[in-house]
Structure 1
Amino acid sequence: MHEAEKPPHADRAGYVDTLIVGAGLSGIGVACHLRRDRPRHSYTILEGRGDLGGTWDLFRYPGVRSDSDLHTLGYAFKPWTGEKVIASGQAIQDYIRETAGQHGVLPHIRFGHKVIRADWSGAEGLWTVEARRTDGEHVLHTCRFLVVSTGYYDYDAGHLPDFPGQDRFKGTFLHPQHWPRDFDHTGRRVVVIGSGATGVTLVPALADRARHVTLLQRSPSYVLPVASKDALADAMRRLLGDRLAHRLTRRKNIAAQTFVYRLSRRHPRIVKKLLRTLQRRLLPQGYDIGTHFGPRYEPWDQRLCVVPDGDLFKAISSGRASVVTDRIAAFAEEGIQLASGALLEADTVVTATGLNLLAFGGMRLEVDGTPVSLPDTRVYKGCMLSGVPNLAFTVGYINASWTLKVDLVCAYLCRLLNRMDATGRWTCVPHHDGGDAGTRPLMDFAAGYVQRSIDAFPRQGDAGPWRMNMSYKEDVRELRHGRIEDGVLRFGNPTERTATPEPMSSADPTGPTEP
């Protein structure tokens, strides 16, 4: 691009072509795609925390791990070669760091920069982004395109119900989101409140050294034992090499995830029977599976919890852990008084009671001086917002590995930018024709953590580009192969300039080559 043809103020300090908010699995993925497919494209990542990894840097509780395989949770372009495919949080963070290092992303990250607002100027064709540093100073950045990769969790606080008599308890309260690094649970009687993914992860991890661990749940979840290692993937890697084996294993696992989800929705009785059969093999004879592992809802109304190598069931069978399905009446000095009348003694109570959602990391958006009300926007192709120019966001799948969706969004973003360069357009904005008929929540999911906060998020439609697909196959068709200029996405240039911008990338304008 010639100097005279840059948009006004593009030379100011802090300007980049694309600004990425968040240095987690998604944000690093966006940066790597830009690096690979648009090598002349400038970018910066603003990260509020002091290290990369996002979720995998935040959660430090014992046993923290993935709940899907790393061949699909990992990047399409970066083979997973770890020993376990259900990997620890530390292994996942190391993988993200290694990927960022190999693609030259690390120097582009600004840690300790929490984005608090972003203002779009249609006249300039620029976003001005305000971030608060850890030292309290506020700094401004400008960019042509803004990508929000903050996930949807509130990293500052988890969900904590108000338990009756909680202040009477003389033991230790812990929340998994704020686990003390030096906490020693050896010999303690631990009660973990909650039946979700965090709870079923914590129980076997704590049971190794605790006196006893009890999972206290108001109602059960579906829990699926899975292998922590993939023997077929290991064999293919030895025969075919890392890259080809990763590609084939990824396809195999995508097909398996899709099959399980569709079977659960279409034939829930078959899935429930299969789960019970697998659980019965790992639990003591006569164990009351119906009470403790028989939910009132259907499979995949909420996310299935996975336990690698059946570790939760093995901990129960060994006697080191147990499950109590009951309601909390009140806390007592020595533990928890249950609605059934029983007293559950405890030295330590872990409140694995869920997370809070936070849309776009809590940042405020304005377009030409008008605040953006996220619930009044509609999602476009699962990655942009109606009426908001030059902005993309990355939210992964609920019913499959998160990164499968993120990889497709990144590829679409590169295709879009290449097309805009090739046709001399600087701005793009999805245009919604108005009306609320047929809209649904962004995540149409029954889980409590979703239902508590989903009204603060954008909404989706029932069809076309306004639907938030939860199907990898449909997203491949729409994001990887669909038309960029579909009549819904409107293109233009800033009003303060008349020159046609020169492409900022030497990449092929037809789009990146998929790995």
Structure 2
Amino acid sequence: MAVEFDVVIIGAGLSGINAAQRVQMQLPGLTYTILEARGAIGGTWDLFKYPGIRSDSDLYTFGFPWRPWESTKAIADGPSIKQYLIESAAEYGIDKHIQYRHKLLAADWSSKTQTWSLAIDTDGEKKYLKAKFMIYGSGYYDYDEPLQTTIPNIDTFKGATIHPQFWPQDLDYASKKIVIIGSGATAVTLLPVLAETAASVTMLQRSPTYILSQPATDSGSWIRRLFPSWIAHALVRWKYMWGMWLYFQFCRAFPIKAKEQIAAATTKELPSRIKQDPNFNPSYNPWEQRLCVCPDGDFFKALRKGNAHVVTDTIETVTETGICTLRGETLDTDIIVTATGLKMRFAGGVKITLNGTHVDIKGKYLWKGVLMQDIPNTAFLLGYTNASWTLGAEASMQLFCRIVRYMAPRGLGDVTPRVEDESKLRPMSMMNLKSTYILAAKGVLPKCGDLRPWRARASYFKDFWDAKFGRFEGLEFLRDRGQFAE
């Protein structure tokens, strides 16, 4: 007989650990467990181990509101973030609820029993659980396979070809020539670290990205001196939240001015041998794709050092010993790093069925960015493209917990978002960016609409307010046919 929980959380990363704490504190009468496909806490921060792996958001907003990030280091490395997650889970006893190497394969909803039946793989063996509510904290990246891209004749290369998602821990790149293909956050993170010991590192990009220097440590030490720690943590967190939001609004309202400011700042950081245009002059406006951050300008410091380079061109072909570009430049290299993006896979690729009938997720609308059209008792925790991921996951959990608290005393057994008339909704992307990996995910992700409550989320402040006080329009509640845990 399958073990039953009130709440099953998928994933023991940032979203999953935060979800567990909110369930413990706001829904104390409910039983829960966390299913983690890997063998450790951390999610993204356990998977990615490439040199220099770090956050591109400040940890005061990327960290948990219930366990503040206490270090003055605002931009943190991957191992520090993972340790923070481990300590946070242990402090609140969340680690005792995690079932490792439990990969969810399928979830089937029964309208008769108002429960989810879950099929789980545990190191090759099948296991079954039941759940009243599901929370997917597994994000939207494919942990098993990176984004595939066409690189002409890459198979002819005799050196090492590495994707950052599966970086070999024994790779010796000291005194080697390296070409990084790509210009996103991963490439910007890798270049300065590799350049410390490599003979040369070249970032080969087809199109440039906006890169901003940001202090690695927080400048608000005076706040910590003047106020008690709990007030200081809150003030620093709000400072970063408002700072991010205001800068995003500025870029969207005055894109030409923002572009000029970024260009001027970039030019000051570059050595004379590398030109701002075309190497750092994107064809799009700021925040049409996510901006990259380099702590204390480490990316530009590496360029000024002399053994790091940027080439803006298209690959014509890969040879046995390097890369030839369309404009005739030859880049000799020992190692090629394909930092070409991440493949998207919603909810970990779980097969979701309703009474045995398959649900096509990509055809469904997201309700307030949290619940999904026609899928009962299920929350999907997603972050923001223009702010820290954890802020979005937190707003989602506040809304989920409020809905469950509304249901229990009223004897309600399931909640399902319903679209009354889809002809009145104009389908829109759930993510307001034009990044390559997002465009490549067309037909994989669910959609949003142009009307409430189906619009895409864009602001933590608005979403948090809505989570606490917003109406439940678009939700269908049904009576509980069984026993709801008190």
Q: Take 1:200 and 1:487, find their aligned partners in 2: how far apart are those partners? A: 43
Q: CA deviation at 1:494?
A: 4.8
1:255 aligns with 2:255: no
Q: Which amino acid aligns with 1:366?
A: T
Cα distance between partner residues in 1 of 2:248 and 2:306: 33
Structure 1 residue 102: deviation in Å? 0.9
Are the counterparts in 2 of residues 422 and 503 from structure 1 also a CA contact under 8 Å? no
Q: Provide, for residues 386-427 of structure 1, a one-character-per-residue CA deviation record: whole Å limited to 9, x for no partner.
A: 111101110100111111111111111111111111211121
Task: State the distance in 1 between where 2:155 and 2:361 align.
Answer: 38
Deviations 1:287-306 (A, max 9, x none): 41011100011111100011
- Which residue matches 1:366? 353
Question: Which residue, 125, 128, 131 being the options, matches 1:140?
Answer: 128
Write the distance in 1 (CA, Å) between the matches of 2:24 and 2:251.
39
Residue in structure 1 matched with residue 476 of structure 2 by the alignment = 490
- Alpha carbons of structure 1 residues 171 and 39: separation in structure 2 relative to 1, 3 Å: same
Equivalences for 1:336-485 in 2 at 5 Å?
A: 336-436=323-423, 437-483=425-471
Query: Which of 36, 55, 73 is equivalent to 1:84?
Result: 73
2:294 corresponds to: 307
CA contact (8 A) 1:276 1:289 kept: yes
Q: After superposition, give the CA deviation of every residue in 1:21-77 in whole Å (9 maximum; x if it has no partner).
A: 111100111001111222222100001111111111111000010001001111111
Determine which of 88, 94, 118 is the counterpart of 1:105. Answer: 94
Q: 1:173, 1:51 → 2: CA distance?
A: 27
The answer on 1:123 being equivalent to 2:109 is no
Bigger drift between 432-441 and 139-148 goes to 432-441
8 A Cα contact 1:24 1:54, kept in partner: yes
Q: 1:195 aligns with which of 183, 186, 193?
A: 183
- For 2:435 and 2:373, the matched residues in 1 are separated by 26
Q: Is the 1:395–1:406 contact (alpha carbons within 8 Å) kept by the matching residues of 2?
A: yes
1:207 paired with 2:199, answer no
Q: Normalized against structure 1, the TM-score is what?
A: 0.92
| Matched residue type, 1:99 | S
Q: Is the 8 A contact 1:23 1:46 kept in 2?
A: yes
SS in 2 for 1:465: coil
CA contact 1:381–1:479 (8 Å) conserved in 2: no
Residue by residue, what CA displacement relative to the aligned partner does 1:139-182 show, whole Å, maximum 9, x if unpaired? 11101100111100000111232322222211111000000111
- Cα separation, 2, equivalents of 1:411 and 1:494: 22
For 2:337 and 2:204, locate their aligned partners in 1 and report how far apart those are by CA, in whole Å. 10
Q: TM-score, normalised by structure 2?
A: 0.97
Q: Is the 8 A contact 1:376 1:458 kept in 2?
A: yes
Q: Secondary structure at 1:252's aligned position in 2?
A: helix
Deviations 1:359-381 (A, max 9, x none): 11000111122211112211111
**Cα distance between partner residues in 2 of 1:390 and 1:415:** 13
Match of 2:6 in 1: 17
Take 2:398 and 2:126, find their aligned partners in 1: how far apart are those partners?
32
Equivalent of 1:151, from 135, 139, 149? 139
- 1:502 is displaced (CA, Å) by 5.8
Amino acid paired to 1:364 = K
- Note the alpha carbon deviations across 1:68-102, whole angstroms, 9 max, x for none: 10011111111101241110011111111111111
Does structure 2 retain, via aligned residues, the 8 Å contact 1:443–1:454? no
Q: How far apart are the structure 2 equivalents of 1:421 and 1:238?
A: 45
Q: Tell me which residue corresponds to 1:513.
A: none
Distance in structure 1 (CA, Å) of the matches to 2:359 and 2:148: 29
Aligned equivalents of 1:161, 1:490: Cα separation in 2: 42
- 1:512 maps to none
- Partners of 2:19 and 2:224 lie apart in 1 by 27
Q: Distance in 2 between matches of 1:241 and 1:53?
A: 30
Distance (whole Å) between structure 2 residues aligned to residue 464 and residue 162 of structure 1: 39
Question: Which consecutive segments of 4 or more residues in structure 1 shift more than 4 A?
Answer: none
Task: Say if 1:33 and 1:414, in contact at 8 Å, map to a contact too.
Answer: yes
Deviation at 1:308, TM superposition (A): 0.6
- Following superposition, the deviation at residue 487 of structure 1 comes to 4.1
Among 252, 266, 277, the residue aligned to 1:290: 277
Kept after mapping to 2: 8 A contact 1:442/1:454? no
Q: How many corresponding residue pairs?
A: 485
Where in structure 2 are there 5+ consecutive unaligned residues? none
Deviation, 1:238, is 3.7
- Cα displacement (A) at 1:14: 2.0
Amino acid at match of 2:217: K
2:47·2:165 contact (CA, 8 Å) conserved in 1? Answer: yes
| Counterpart residue identity of residue 211, structure 2 | V
CA contact (8 A) 2:288 2:432 kept: no
Which segments of 5 or more consecutive residues in structure 1 lack a partner in the other structure? Answer: 1-11, 505-515
Give deviations 1:333-369, integer Å, cap 9, x for gaps.
Answer: 2111111112101011100011100011000111122
The answer on whether the counterparts of 2:344 and 2:444 sit within 8 Å (CA) in structure 1 is: no
